[in-house]
Amino acid sequence: MTTITDLVQDPADLPFSFVLDGERIHGIPPAWQPTVRKREISAEIMETVYEAAGPGTGLELRVECMTYCDFPVVEWVAWFSNTGDTTAPALSDILALDHTFAGASPVLHHYNGDYARSGGYTPTETRLFDGNVLSFAPVGGRPCDCAFPYYRLAFEGHGLTLAIGWPAQWSANFSGLDEAAHVRAGQEQINARLAPGERIRTPRITLLAWDGERTDAVNLWRRWYRAHILPRPDGGPLKTCLGFSAPNGGVEYTAATEDNQLRDMKKARQHGIDFDLWWIDAGWYPCGDNTEDGNDWMATGNWVPDPERFPNGLKPVGDALAADGAELLLWFEPERVRPGTKLDIEHSEWLLRLPDSENSLLNLGNPACRQWLTEHVCTLIRESGIGIYRQDFNFMPLQYWRDNDGPERSGINENLHVQGYLQYWDELLARNPGLWIDSCASGGRRNDLETMRRAVPLHHTDHGYGKSAVKLAFHRTLFEWIPYFRGLSVSWDIERPTLFDHCVDRFSFQCAMAPMMLPLLDIRRDDLDYELAATMIAIWRRAADLLLHGDYYPLTPFHRDVTQWVAWQFHCPDTGRGLFQAIRLQKAPNETFTGDLQALEAARVYVLENSETGETVESTGAELDRTGFTVALPIRAGAIWFYQRADSPGAAK
């Protein structure tokens, strides 16, 4: 296994750099007299903190390094503070990562993030020849907007996985060298003189070393992510869950009321939909009269339940859910403030504005603003019984930060906003035990690793919910990088007047298999096949833990082609259990597909079971390795075959 712990062992060689008063500095110079302190955070994590002071500058530098004992992973983040009583010299071009990695034939595996188009989440492999340079940055200040801050740098037989934890505007540069690659990454623009008492930080850099092939890298990352990144509400592992919702025909949830939510929750249970969380999205607050029907869900800045539709607040909804062992998910978009709303009128001093824009940005870099928001939302969480806090972000913040920075302050508003945003979420989690957070930003545009330490991306895109081939392509990438996300059971190749007006459909459920599922069914209708829905939900419940906790093996190439099949395998090596799913898309001409199942033990006998028909097949790992496993399906159909070793407890005979 490639060793990377040496990267954080010597302060002078720490792999970051910055420019101070025009001079490029790498690591921590000896003249800064760095000190070192180590502490064991847990049995798996060792923290090393370097602290130093720039002679005659008033600047103090703190670098926090984390070494994982159970995985080949190191991380670091650097902080710069002005502890003097005058303005500090200019800090600029701060690179959280600035290092050359040796290895033969470097190839960069990169992705293009989410941008509400079918082309999102596309993987690309680019050979880094000597002199070849690749540069990346998101669009508009949200970290996954047309870019993706997750990379694999593959050499012959080994490689590095890199994540840039920065929920704003980062940049990264990969340069090919002779038998090496040089990587630079950081906040895209920073050139500022810190005021007395002011502190800024770098993105958090995460590096995972791996040996072997792409699947080895993918599954080592998934295992580390589950162990150390996936949020743990109340200290326990995040469970797979079934969501449900009832918008009641309005624009977003502007037609939701206390009465219809309580009615539809009860009706869903009666129809056998045993949901774990109830989803209320945008529009539960006063929505103004800016549209013909008087319901404008974009009237953000009024964070109280609409007193006409929810005269008792959201407490009756939260209480009813708690009585059934379910949780309330509630949508917020605190960073966008619209004209005429409560925040716009009462706290204009907290807003960053641009000419000719109806959106104002709530400045989370302002401590008073952040404190007010924390108190207000925590009160709503307690009073309403909110179990999942969902935060959206539907406009580009970058120009709001940059146009309001001021002279010799480039990048300051962005940096302070990032700090405030993360502090806000940390406070929500600390003050509300058991709470978990859903990260959304016009879909999946703010899912960097610093955000994912605190949240999961249940709504990973605003595009293609019912475009089966597109949706499955998105899932293929997400399973590699951010393994907890939501699947929607809807297919748009079925004729329907509206998004929610469609039948219960096996194919739609097969294409929605993910650690969380949200069936898109209009619970007001009694003519739907709820028995079939219950059958497919039961299959999902059996599959969901394997989808989250198993090693992942895609068995078909990345594509969005309705003339092809999509197939993948999830395998738990410690138990020998897993699943194989194959989906024949709408125009795929081949009636059969043979999957080359991975990671099975040659001498073991495996029992494979069709999840819907109950048919079982026995075969040795060696036979499956030699012949593969063949399934036959009609067009527009899918099948999940669960398998386990024949000697496993409960194995079918």
Domain that holds residue 632: 552-645
Return the CATH number at 558.
2.60.40.1180
- Quick one: 525 and 384 in the same domain? yes
- Quick one: 120 and 249 in the same domain? no
Query: Token digits for 581?
Result: 């799913």
Give the pLDDT confidence of 225-248 residue by residue, as tens digits.
Answer: 999 999 999 888 999 999 999 999
CB 379 within 8 A of CB 431: no
- Quick one: 484 and 582 in the same domain? no
Domain boundary among 206, 228, 250: 228
CA atoms of 316 and 307, how far apart (whole Å): 13
CB 593 within 8 A of CB 641: no
In the numeric block, the tokens 């819907």 are attached to 612
Residue type, 118: S
The answer to whether residue 651 is domain-embedded is: no
The answer to whether residue 20 is domain-embedded is: yes
Query: Token digits for 11?
Result: 């302060």
Domain boundary among 228, 248, 277: 228
Q: What is the DSSP letter of 89?
A: P
- Quick one: 172 and 285 in the same domain? no
- Quick one: 414 and 560 in the same domain? no
The answer to whether residue 620 is domain-embedded is: yes
Return the CATH number at 309.
3.20.20.70
Residue 36 CA, chain-centre distance (Å), reads 33
Report which of 2, 206, 212 is spatially closest to residue 102, judged by C-alpha positions: 2
- Quick one: 522 and 565 in the same domain? no
- Quick one: 219 and 307 in the same domain? no
Q: What is the pLDDT of residue 127?
A: 97
- Quick one: 606 and 477 in the same domain? no
Domain boundary among 192, 208, 228: 228
The answer to whether residue 416 is domain-embedded is: yes
- Quick one: 349 and 417 in the same domain? yes
- Quick one: 623 and 542 in the same domain? no
**Mean pLDDT, each 10-residue run in order, the chain (653 residues):** 83 98 97 97 97 97 98 98 97 98 97 97 97 97 98 97 98 97 98 98 98 96 98 92 95 96 98 97 86 72 96 98 98 97 96 96 98 98 98 98 97 98 98 98 98 98 95 98 97 70 87 97 93 97 98 98 98 97 98 98 97 97 97 98 86 54
Query: Token digits for 246?
Result: 């009832």
For the chain, what is the domain count? 3
- Quick one: 457 and 578 in the same domain? no
The answer to whether residue 343 is domain-embedded is: yes
The pTM score is 0.97
Percentages helix, strand, coil for the chain, rounded to the nearest 5? 25, 30, 45
- Quick one: 433 and 320 in the same domain? yes
